[in-house]
C-alpha cells in the first residue's frame, strides 16, 4: 500500500511538472522527412529489405527508432546522432543478402521542417574474416609511489578472426590525427576517402615470417619490458610480439628498446620523442596494409594533403599538412572517446559507425588500468569468433580492466 501511494505521488508530481513546463515553455518540434542513399556499386544492383533509423538526442540520450518504411518523423528540436542499420539484397550474377549501415552525426533538428538523407555502406563484405583490433589499452597505469601517470605499458592486441592462418607481415597500426572530442570545420573533409593519421607503424617481414593461427592474438606494445618490477600496478610485457620504438634519446623522454622483441617499422610519427597512446582515450585506431606497389617511401611522398580550419577564438584560418591513409587500405578501425565528451567519429561510417570508451571522463587518473575489449560473438570449433559489425558501440565492452594486467 505504501509503495502504491508513493508511485501515485511521483506520477502526480511528474504530471504537475509537465503541466508547468507546457504552460510556461512550449516544446518546439520539427518534422523530419527521411531518405536513403544506397551504396554506389561498380556492378549489380542493391535493394533495401529492412532496417531501422535511430535518432539519439545528444543532450539527454533518448532514442527514437523509425522503421525503414517510414518517410517522416516528428521530433523535439535539438541535436541528434542518426544511425541506420538494415539488410539489403545485392544482385550481381546471383542475389545475396548483405548488411548495410549508415550514420550522420550532429544533425540539428530545428525550423519546423527539414530533410535528412542517410548514405548507406555495405559492411562485413569479407566473410572469410581477417585481423581485427581485439583490445586497446591506452589508459596506462599509475605509479603507486608518485601517484602519477606511468608511461610505457600501453598495448594494442590484434586477433586473427578468420578460420585460416594469416600473416602479420606488413600489417600497419594507425592512430588518428583528429580527436573525437573536438570537431573543427576541416576543409577539405576527406573522411569518405581516407583516415587522417598522425602515427603509422608497420610490422616487419617479407610476407611469410609472422604466421598467426586462427584464434590467436598478437600484442603490440610501447616498451616490451617487465613493468611490474618498477610499478606494482603495471604488467609484464617482456614477451610481447612487437614494440613500437621511436629511438628518442631525449633526456626527459628516452625510449627503451628490448632487443629480444622486434620493433615496428615507424613509417611516420608526429612526435620527436616517445609515442604514447592518448591516455584520454579520444582518438581512433586502425589496422591496414599498403597495397602492392606502394612502398613506405612512396606513401610518404604521395599521400599528404593540405587542410585548414578557422580557430574558434576568431583567429585567422590555420593551415596544416597531414597524412591520409585511404579507407580501402584499412582492415579494421575503432573510434574511442570519453563517454561524456563524445562529439564525432574521426573515421568514415563504412569503417566504424559507433564509438567505445575507457571511461565517462577524460581524466588520466580515472582511465588508468582501463581498456576496451572486443566481444565474443560465438564459438566455432572451440575458437572464439569476435564480434565485428563495424560498430564499436556494440562490438566492444567499454571501460574494463585490461586483460593482460594481473588479477588483483
Domain-located, residue 136:
yes
If asked whether residues 94 and 162 sit together in one domain, one would say no
Rounded-to-integer distance, Cα 40 and Cα 36, Å: 12
If asked whether residues 252 and 114 sit together in one domain, one would say no
Rounded-to-integer distance, Cα 220 and Cα 261, Å: 10
Report the pLDDT value the prediction gives residue 124, as an integer from 0 to 100: 52
Residue 81 has pLDDT above 90, yes or no: no
Mean pLDDT, residues 8-35: 62
User: Hey, how many other C-beta atoms are within 10 angstroms of the C-beta on 88?
Assistant: 23
Report the pLDDT value the prediction gives residue 72, as an integer from 0 to 100: 95
Domain-located, residue 16:
no
Residue 171 has pLDDT above 80, yes or no: yes
Residue 100 has pLDDT above 80, yes or no: yes
Residue 1: band (very low, low, confident or very high) from pLDDT cuts 50, 70, 90: very low
Residue 353 has pLDDT above 70, yes or no: yes
Domain that holds residue 375: 131-401
pTM of the model: 0.79
Report the pLDDT value the prediction gives residue 123, as an integer from 0 to 100: 67
**283 touches 176 (CB < 8 A):** yes
Q: Which string of DSSP letters, residue by residue, matches 214-246?
A: TT-EEEEES--SBGGGT-TTS-B-TT-SEE---
DSSP E strand stretches across 290-337: 304-310, 317-326, 330-335
Domain-located, residue 406:
no
Mean pLDDT, residues 34-54: 89
Report the pLDDT value the prediction gives residue 21, as an integer from 0 to 100: 47
Report the pLDDT value the prediction gives residue 208, as an integer from 0 to 100: 94
Residue 24: band (very low, low, confident or very high) from pLDDT cuts 50, 70, 90: low
Residue 15: band (very low, low, confident or very high) from pLDDT cuts 50, 70, 90: very low
If asked whether residues 99 and 171 sit together in one domain, one would say no
Rounded-to-integer distance, Cα 158 and Cα 206, Å: 19
182-186, 187-191, 349-353, 399-403: least confident range: 182-186
Higher pLDDT, 129 or 371: 371
Residue 7: band (very low, low, confident or very high) from pLDDT cuts 50, 70, 90: very low
Q: Which three cell numbers stand for residue 234?
A: 603495471
Domain-located, residue 91:
yes
Residue 185: band (very low, low, confident or very high) from pLDDT cuts 50, 70, 90: confident
If asked whether residues 109 and 141 sit together in one domain, one would say no
Report the pLDDT value the prediction gives residue 315, as an integer from 0 to 100: 67
If asked whether residues 192 and 111 sit together in one domain, one would say no
Q: What is the CATH classification number for the domain harbouring 40?
A: 2.60.40
Rank 58-67, 111-120, 184-193, 195-204 by mean pLDDT and report only the highest: 195-204
If asked whether residues 54 and 196 sit together in one domain, one would say no
Each residue's pLDDT tens digit, 216-257? 999 999 999 999 999 999 999 999 999 999 988 888 888 889
Report the pLDDT value the prediction gives residue 19, as an integer from 0 to 100: 47
Computed from CA positions of residues 58, 59, 63, 68, in that sequence, does the dihedral angle turn out positive or negative? negative
Residue 365: band (very low, low, confident or very high) from pLDDT cuts 50, 70, 90: confident
Kindly give, in sequence order, each residue whose CB lies less than 8 Å from that of residue 56, ignoring residues fewer than 6 positions away.
Answer: 62, 63, 64, 80, 81, 82, 83
Each residue's pLDDT tens digit, 105-121? 789 999 999 999 998 88
Q: Which of 390, 395, 397, 396 is nearest to 98 (CA)?
A: 390
Mean pLDDT, residues 55-61: 87
Rounded-to-integer distance, Cα 281 and Cα 404, Å: 18
Residue 197 has pLDDT above 80, yes or no: yes
If asked whether residues 167 and 188 sit together in one domain, one would say yes
Q: Is residue 20 classed as helix, strand or coil in its secondary structure?
A: helix
Domain-located, residue 407:
no
Report the pLDDT value the prediction gives residue 140, as an integer from 0 to 100: 95
Of 123, 141, 161, the residue that ends a domain is 123
Of 123, 154, 189, the residue that ends a domain is 123
If asked whether residues 102 and 251 sit together in one domain, one would say no
**269 touches 201 (CB < 8 A):** yes
Residue 313: band (very low, low, confident or very high) from pLDDT cuts 50, 70, 90: low
User: Hey, how many other C-beta atoms are within 10 angstroms of the C-beta on 317?
Assistant: 10
Percent of the chain with pLDDT over 90: 67
To which H or E segment does residue 365 belong? helix 364-367
Residue 11 has pLDDT above 80, yes or no: no
If asked whether residues 74 and 208 sit together in one domain, one would say no
Mean pLDDT, residues 177-197: 92
Higher pLDDT, 20 or 59: 59
Q: Which of 125, 129, 121, 122 is nearest to 104 (CA)?
A: 121
Of 99, 123, 147, the residue that ends a domain is 123
Domain-located, residue 1:
no
Mean pLDDT, residues 16-44: 75
Q: Which of 36, 66, 38 is nearest to 53 (CA)?
A: 66
If asked whether residues 260 and 380 sit together in one domain, one would say yes
Q: Which of 136, 126, 128, 129 is nearest to 158 (CA)?
A: 136
| Cell 558501440, located at residue | 393
Q: Which string of DSSP letters, residue by residue, matches 166-197?
A: EE-TT-EEEEESS-TT-----BS--TTTEEEE
Q: How many domains does the chain have?
A: 2
If asked whether residues 225 and 339 sit together in one domain, one would say yes
If asked whether residues 253 and 382 sit together in one domain, one would say yes
Domain-located, residue 78:
yes
Strands 217-221 and 242-243: parallel
Report the pLDDT value the prediction gives residue 324, as an integer from 0 to 100: 98
Domain-located, residue 255:
yes
Amino acid at each position: 500500500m505504501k509503495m502504491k501511494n508513493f508511485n501515485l505521488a511521483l506520477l502526480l508530481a511528474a504530471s504537475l511538472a509537465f503541466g508547468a513546463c507546457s504552460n510556461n515553455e512550449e516544446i518546439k518540434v520539427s518534422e523530419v522527412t527521411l531518405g536513403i542513399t544506397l551504396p554506389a556499386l561498380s556492378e549489380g544492383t542493391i535493394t533495401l529489405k529492412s532496417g531501422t533509423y535511430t535518432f539519439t538526442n545528444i543532450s539527454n540520450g533518448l532514442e527514437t527508432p523509425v522503421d525503414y518504411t517510414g518517410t517522416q518523423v516528428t521530433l523535439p528540436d535539438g541535436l541528434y546522432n542518426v544511425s541506420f542499420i538494415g539488410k539489403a539484397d545485392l544482385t550481381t550474377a546471383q542475389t545475396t543478402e548483405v548488411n548495410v549501415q549508415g550514420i550522420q552525426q550532429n544533425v540539428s533538428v530545428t525550423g519546423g521542417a527539414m530533410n535528412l538523407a542517410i548514405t548507406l555502406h555495405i559492411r562485413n563484405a569479407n566473410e572469410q574474416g581477417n585481423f581485427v583490433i581485439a583490445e586497446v589499452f591506452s589508459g596506462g597505469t599509475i605509479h603507486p609511489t608518485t601517484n602519477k601517470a606511468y608511461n610505457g605499458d600501453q598495448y594494442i592486441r590484434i586477433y586473427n578472426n578468420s578460420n585460416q592462418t594469416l600473416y602479420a607481415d606488413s600489417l600497419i597500426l594507425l592512430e588518428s590525427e583528429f580527436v573525437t572530442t573536438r570537431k573543427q570545420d576541416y576543409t577539405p573533409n576527406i573522411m569518405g576517402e581516407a583516415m587522417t593519421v598522425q602515427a603509422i607503424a608497420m610490422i616487419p617481414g617479407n610476407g611469410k615470417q609472422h604466421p598467426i593461427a586462427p584464434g590467436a592474438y598478437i600484442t603490440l606494445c610501447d616498451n616490451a619490458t617487465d613493468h611490474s618490477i618498477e610499478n606494482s600496478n603495471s604488467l609484464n610485457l617482456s614477451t610481447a610480439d612487437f614494440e613500437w620504438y621511436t629511438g628518442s634519446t631525449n633526456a626527459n623522454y628516452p625510449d627503451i628498446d628490448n632487443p629480444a622483441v622486434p620493433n615496428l617499422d615507424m613509417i611516420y610519427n608526429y612526435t620527436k620523442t616517445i609515442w604514447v597512446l592518448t591516455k584520454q582515450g579520444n582518438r581512433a585506431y586502425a589496422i591496414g596494409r599498403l597495397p602492392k606497389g606502394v612502398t613506405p617511401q612512396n606513401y610518404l611522398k604521395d599521400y599528404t594533403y593540405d587542410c585548414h580550419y578557422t580557430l574558434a577564438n576568431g583567429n585567422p584560418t590555420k593551415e596544416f599538412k597531414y597524412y591520409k591513409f585511404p579507407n580501402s587500405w584499412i582492415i579494421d578501425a575503432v573510434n574511442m572517446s570519453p563517454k561524456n565528451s563524445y562529439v564525432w567519429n574521426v573515421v568514415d561510417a563504412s569503417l566504424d559507425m559507433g564509438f567505445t570508451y575507457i571511461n565517462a571522463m577524460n581524466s588520466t587518473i580515472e582511465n588508468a588500468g582501463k581498456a576496451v575489449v572486443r566481444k565474443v560473438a560465438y564459438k566455432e570449433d572451440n575458437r572464439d569468433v569476435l564480434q565485428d559489425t563495424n560498430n564499436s558501440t556494440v562490438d566492444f565492452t567499454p571501460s574494463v580492466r585490461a586483460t593482460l594486467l594481473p588479477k588483483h
